[in-house]
């Protein structure tokens, strides 16, 4: 399996990171297996988290095959690259095929990357996890490697927040692998994973080398640290409103197309 497209994308993104003078602090790389399959589970705070997780694995000479929504693969721009990097398309209406493909990749010795929160957390704290991570690990008989990224929300995240300002600090911490016990239940494994990642996130947030520039710059910190980000409950309400608006827009678009065919 050729990874030339992946190497090209990695080189390109490293160039972008260099231009932005991003300051990376990557810890725990030794916790990534140098061979064999594993599920990489990361929190989600920015649109660049895929590249940050991939960068950490790249330092260990590994490539991560991410599970991503199918629409990214059908795009004329991103589609060829996503397929060339052997990522795994997920059709949310029929997810069984993606699960089967991910298990096959894991058994073939690949690293499969998943964001168990499914979407970016607007509170910057961990949301509830989907059980896909543990179900994959149990089915394939591989460990789960917890990873936490922090700082990417200051570069490019939801609600049209982005900045080209140079010198942002990006923290990445890789925790010790979690090996599901024989006969383990998916829900129990996810609770253990959530607890581990919560500890890692607290550590990364507390140790982050950069602080807000003033009251106007508190948006990227969670309430727990004196920031102005929504609470978990407020973030969930906001996300539900955004999703409802997207569904309504999609319905209107579909109705216009249907009307145009009649």
Determine the pLDDT at residue 70. 87
Determine the pLDDT at residue 152. 97
Q: Does the pTM exceed 0.85?
A: yes
Interval 19-39: pLDDT, tens: 999 999 999 999 999 999 999
Phi, psi of 145, deg, nearest 5:
-105, 110
Determine the pLDDT at residue 262. 63
In a domain, 225, yes or no: no
User: Is residue 57 classed as helix, strand or coil in its secondary structure?
Assistant: helix
In a domain, 166, yes or no: yes
| CATH value at residue 57 | 3.40.1130.10
Residue segments in the chain with a per-residue pLDDT below the cut of 50: none
Distance between CA 157 and CA 55 in Å, rounded?
18
Distance between CA 193 and CA 116 in Å, rounded?
10
Determine the pLDDT at residue 129. 94
72 near 82, Cβ under 8 Å?
yes
In a domain, 254, yes or no: no
In a domain, 188, yes or no: yes
Q: How many domains does the chain have?
A: 1
In a domain, 186, yes or no: yes
DSSP letter, residue 171: E
């Amino acid at each position: 399996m050729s990874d030339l497209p992946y190497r090209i994308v990695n080189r390109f993104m490293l160039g972008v990171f260099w231009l932005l003078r991003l300051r990376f602090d990557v810890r725990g790389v030794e916790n990534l297996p140098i061979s064999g399959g594993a599920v990489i589970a990361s929190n989600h705070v920015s649109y660049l988290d895929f590249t940050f997780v991939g960068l950490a694995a790249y330092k260990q000479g590994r490539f991560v095959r991410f599970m991503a929504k199918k629409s990214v693969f059908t795009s004329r721009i991103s589609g060829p690259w996503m397929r060339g990097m052997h990522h795994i398309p997920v059709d949310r209406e029929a997810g069984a095929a993606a699960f089967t493909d991910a298990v096959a990749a894991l058994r073939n010795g690949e690293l499969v990357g998943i964001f168990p929160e499914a979407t970016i957390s607007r509170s910057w704290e961990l949301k509830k996890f989907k059980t896909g991570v543990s179900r994959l690990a149990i089915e394939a008989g591989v460990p789960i490697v917890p990873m936490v990224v922090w700082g990417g929300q200051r570069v490019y995240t939801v609600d049209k927040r982005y900045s080209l300002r140079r010198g942002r600090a990006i923290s990445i911490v890789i925790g010790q692998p979690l090996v599901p016990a024989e006969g383990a239940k998916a829900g129990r494994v996810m609770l253990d994973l959530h607890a581990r990642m919560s500890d890692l996130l607290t550590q990364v947030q507390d140790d982050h080398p950069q602080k807000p520039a003033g009251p106007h710059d508190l948006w990227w910190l969670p309430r727990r640290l004196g920031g102005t980000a929504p609470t978990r409950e407020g973030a969930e309400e906001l996300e539900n409103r955004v999703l409802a608006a997207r569904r309504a827009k999609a319905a209107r678009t579909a109705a216009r197309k249907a009307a145009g065919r009649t």
